Amino acid sequence: MKRILPGILAMAAIVVASNILVQFLLLDGLLTWGAFTYPFAFLVTDVMNRVYGVASARRVIFAGFVTGIACSLIGTQIMLQGDGYTYPAVAFRVAVASATGFLVAQLIDVAVFNRLRAGAWWRAPLASTVVGSALDTVLFFTLAFSQSVTVFGANADAEISWAWDVVPFLTAGPDAPLWVSLAVADWGVKLAIALVALLPFRLIVGRLIARGT
C-alpha cells in the first residue's frame, strides 16, 4: 500500500479539486474549470497500472471513488439560494451520475490498458483514456441530465431542469438541449488532455521504473 500512496493522494486531490472547480464556469457556462482537472484522473490510473499493475490501479480508483462520494455527500448538504428557492450545491441525481461515471469509466480504462500494455508505449494510455473518458462523459451527462432518465423522480428532475433548455448547439449550431452541448464540450477537453497527458505519462513512468519503485 505504501508504494501506491502517492497515486492515492494524487487521485484524491484531483477528485476534490474537480468537485470544487466545477462550480466555476467558463465560456458562458459551456465548460467549468473542473473539466480541465478531472481528466488527469486517467493519467494517475494509467501510471499506476503501468508501474504497479492492475490490482494497484484498482485500489487507487476505489480511493478516488470513495473521495468522490464524500465530496458529493457534502455538496448535497450545502444549500444555496437562487431565483426565489433553495437548492443543494450538488443535486442527488448529479452525485449518482458522477460516482457511476467515474467508477465504470476508470475500471474500463484499466481493462483496455491491460489488454494493450504490450504494444507501443503510447497506445495503452491513449486508447484507454479515450475509451474511458468517452464512457465517463456518456454515463455522467445521460444519468445527470437526460430527460429520458426518469428513475430519480420529479423532485430530482426539477433540480436539473435547466439543462433541458433548448439552445444553439455549442452556441452556434442547430437547436439542442443544453446538456448535449455541455457533454460535447466536456468530451473535447478530455480528448485534448488525453493527448497532452502522454508526455507526463512517459516521464513519470520512466522515473518510477528507473527508481525501481
Report pLDDT digits (tens) over 178-205.
999 999 999 999 999 999 999 999 999 9
More confident residue, 1 or 148: 148
Average pLDDT, the chain: 93
106 SS3 class: helix
Confidence of residue 69 (pLDDT cuts 50, 70, 90): very high
Q: Which three cell numbers stand for residue 56?
A: 494497484
pLDDT at 211: 85
CA 133 vs. chain centroid, Å, equals: 7
Report pLDDT for 207: 94
How far is 35 from 185, CA to CA, in rounded Å? 9
pLDDT (0 to 100) of residue 82: 62
Residue 155 in this model has a pLDDT that exceeds 90: no
DSSP-assigned letters across all residues of 29-96: GTEETHHHHTTHHHHHHHHHHHHH-HHHHHHHHHHHHHHHHHHHHHHHH-EEEETTEEEESS-HHHHH
Half-sphere exposure of 177 (CA within 13 A, CB side): 14
Looking only at the bridges linking them, the beta strands covering 175-177 and 166-168 are: antiparallel
pLDDT band at 158 (very low <50, low <70, confident <90, very high): confident
168's enclosing H/E stretch is strand 166-168
Name the fold adopted by 2-210: Arp2/3 complex 21 kDa subunit ARPC3 (1.10.1760)
Question: CA separation (Å) from 189 to 21, 38, 71, 98, 212?
Answer: 15, 10, 23, 17, 34
Sketch the domain layout of the chain as residue ranges: 2-210
Residues 6+ apart with CB under 8 A from 7: 44, 47, 48, 52, 56, 60
Q: Cα separation of 68 and 74, whole Å? A: 10
pLDDT for 77-104, tens place per residue? 887 776 656 777 788 999 999 999 999 9
